[in-house]
Copies of this chain bind each other. A is one copy, B any other.
Amino acid sequence: MVLVERDDTGVTLHDVTLHGITLHSVTLHDVAREAGVSYATASRALNGSDRTVRADNAARVRDAADRLGYTPDLSAQATARGSSSTVALVVSDIDDPYFSSIAAGVTEAATDAGLIVTMAIADRSPGLELQIVRALRGHRPRAVIIAGSRIAPAASTSAPASSASAAASAAAASASASASASDDDDTRAALIAELAAYQQAGGRVALISQDDLPFTTLAIDNTGGARQLALDLAGLGYRRFAIAHADDSIRTSHDRRLGFAAGLAEAGLPPPALLPTDFTRAGGRQAALDLIARGHGDLELVFAVNDVMAIGVMTGLRESGLLPGRDLAVAGFDDINAAVDVSPALTSVRVPLHELGRRALASALAEPPPHTTTDRASAAVSGPMSVPIPVEVILRPSTPTRRHP
Is A163 in the interface zone, CB < 8 Å from B? no
Are B74 and A139 interface neighbours, CB within 8 A? yes
Q: Which residues of the other chain, B, contact A281 by a CB distance below 8 angstroms?
A: 341
Q: Which residues of the other chain, B, contact A76 by a CB distance below 8 angstroms?
A: 75, 79
Is A377 in the interface zone, CB < 8 Å from B? no
Query: Which of A99-107, A170-178, A213-221, A233-241 forms contacts with chain B?
Result: A99-107
8 Å CB contact of A369 from B16, B21, B139: B21
0/1 interface trace, chain A 88-103, chain B, CB 8 Å (1 if under) = 0000011101001101
Are A18 and B82 interface neighbours, CB within 8 A? yes
8 Å CB contact of A370 from B22, B71, B117: B22
CA distance A173 to B348 in the complex (A): 38
Are B121 and A104 interface neighbours, CB within 8 A? yes
Chain copies in complex: 2
Are B104 and A94 interface neighbours, CB within 8 A? yes
Q: How far is the CB of A263 from chain B (nearest CB, A)?
A: 27
Are B24 and A202 interface neighbours, CB within 8 A? yes
Known: A281-B341, A315-B343. 17 other contacts (CB 8 A): A15-B373, A18-B81, A21-B202, A21-B370, A22-B371, A22-B372, A71-B137, A74-B139, A75-B140, A76-B79, A95-B97, A95-B337, A95-B354, A107-B120, A116-B139, A117-B120, A318-B343
CA distance A119 to B121 in the complex (A): 12
Please provide the chain A residues from 267 to 284 with a CB less than 8 Å away from any CB of chain B in the complex.
Answer: 281
CA distance A64 to B311 in the complex (A): 51
8 Å CB contact of A71 from B24, B119, B134: B134
CA distance A108 to B91 in the complex (A): 13
Are A18 and B83 interface neighbours, CB within 8 A? yes
Are B315 and A340 interface neighbours, CB within 8 A? yes
Count, chain A residues at interface, CB 8 A: 69
0/1 interface trace, chain A 316-352, chain B, CB 8 Å (1 if under) = 0010000000000000000001101111000000000
Is A165 in the interface zone, CB < 8 Å from B? no
Is A84 in the interface zone, CB < 8 Å from B? yes
Q: Which residues of the other chain, B, contact A197 by a CB distance below 8 angstroms?
A: 69
Please provide the chain A residues from 362 to 384 with a CB less than 8 Å away from any CB of chain B in the complex.
Answer: 369-373
Q: How far is the CB of A120 from chain B (nearest CB, A)?
A: 7
Please provide the chain A residues from 1 to 58 with a CB less than 8 Å away from any CB of chain B in the complex.
Answer: 15-18, 20-25
